[in-house]
A and B are shown apart, each in its own frame.
Chain A
Amino acid sequence: MALWIPNTDKIGPNEHLGRRLFDKPQLIGALDQRPRHRLRLGHFLEKRDGGETSLDRMGESCVNKGVRSYLAQRAIKAAEKFREPQQFNGWTVIHIKILRKPPHGTPISVEPFPITAPELDELDKNIYHAHALPEGRSYNDMAFQLFWLFSEHGRTEYYKHILNWRERWMIICTRFRDWLWLSSQE
């Protein structure tokens, strides 16, 4: 499948949009909780306060394999840059028409937001980046509407990433630190 080059002026009528799924860190006092491997509200909460939510444009009419591979490399790099290193697990993907005409509530506008600043590293650039706009919704309302639409009408596009030695070492360090913490509590 040829790599799809997106129109950077507008989102097409049949595009598929993805929200990256990262393993979020657990609360330090709740490490004994069984992890939940399913979509959560937290997957749609942004660090920035404005409520604009980052999405990836995955393909013109379906998930494009070339685009998926392009985006995966960037997502894996992004996962390492979090304050606590996280694991990238794939995307939850939805058709743009669900966001534009949701079965309940007001439509969500999505605009292309390519990241192409020349001073950035190649893996920090992303021509498929888009923003879902809150348009008056609060931070939590925006996240909830996306969470609801993606849980009811989206699907998960898993990405199996084979960890390199550095990533493995970081995960081992994090788990060891958690174990140290739990041991100190006993």
Chain B
Amino acid sequence: MLATANGTVSARTREFEYNGLLARDAEKAKWFEEFVRSTRSNEGTSYMIWGNNEPRPPGASWFRLVERRISESSTPDPNLARGGRWLPQATAIAALKFFEAASDLLPGEPYIYGSPLGDLIAEFDGEKGTLTSVIGPNVTLLFAIIGGIPIKKTVSPEGGERELRSKLRGLAESLRTGKHGALDTEHR
């Protein structure tokens, strides 16, 4: 049992207060459930254009762990999302779609954190370089440093899952082999 300014908080009932956000676990669990389900919907989402007859490759072994970390960091309160502790709901949805669509192509479990503008940053270590993705509701940026050369790729939601996977596949290959086409980069 833990005492707070609001009274006694029981670990059993899992009622907690954090940064002014008061939530009961049952409510939060229900919200998460709806939240995760909405990200998996095949209707009305631009990343979900995977062909009907084409099976999606299985996700990476770390996908569920990262999914949980993102879901538990999301908040509908925009003021709370500014401090770097929480992610705005729209960013969390975009990030879950990103990982669901492409976790099998990524080099390994990412290190994730929030940006001051409310995007999610995921950093990956490859054998021959690093990949940093900045995931926001409107655009996803892929920044790689391979063999000391910076490479940038932009993925807009309009491009869909295919474009995301195609760009990531090229970068993942470069991160593995160290070879890359310098002319492919969008970086100035």
Name A's B-contacting residues (CB within 8 A): 24-30, 32-33, 36, 40-42, 45-47, 49, 83-84, 103-106, 137, 139-141, 144-145, 147-148, 151-152, 177, 180-181, 183-186
Contacts and interface: CB of A to CB of B under 8 A. Distances in A.
B84 A30 contact: no
Interface stretch (B47-55, B65-73, B158-166): B65-73
Contacts of B121: 40-42
Interface in B116-146: 116-117, 121, 123, 132, 134, 141, 143, 145
Interface string B88-103: 0000000000000000
A25 B83 contact: yes
Contacts of A181: 16, 18
Interface in B6-53: 9, 11, 14-16, 18, 25
B114 interface: yes
Nearest to B70: A29
A79 B152 CA distance: 31
A103 to B, nearest CB: 8
Given A25-B85, A180-B18, A181-B18, 10 more contacts: A25-B83, A25-B84, A29-B69, A29-B72, A40-B132, A105-B187, A137-B188, A141-B152, A177-B18, A185-B14
Interface of B: 2, 9, 11, 14-16, 18, 25, 68-74, 82-87, 111-117, 121, 123, 132, 134, 141, 143, 145, 148-150, 152, 187-188
Contact of A144 (B72, B73, B87, B132): B132
A183 B71 CA distance: 17
Given A42-B121, A144-B150, A177-B18, A30 B11 contact: no
17 contacts: A25-B84, A26-B85, A27-B84, A28-B85, A29-B71, A30-B70, A32-B69, A40-B123, A42-B113, A45-B116, A83-B83, A144-B143, A145-B150, A145-B187, A152-B145, A183-B2, A184-B9
A184 B134 contact: no
Contacts of B134: 41, 140
A62 to B, nearest CB: 24
A141 B188 contact: yes
Given A27-B69, A183-B11, A41 B187 contact: no
Sort A-B residue pairs by CB-CB distance and give the 5 closest, nearest first.
A29-B72, A29-B73, A27-B73, A30-B69, A184-B16
B85 A33 contact: no
Contacts of A186: 11
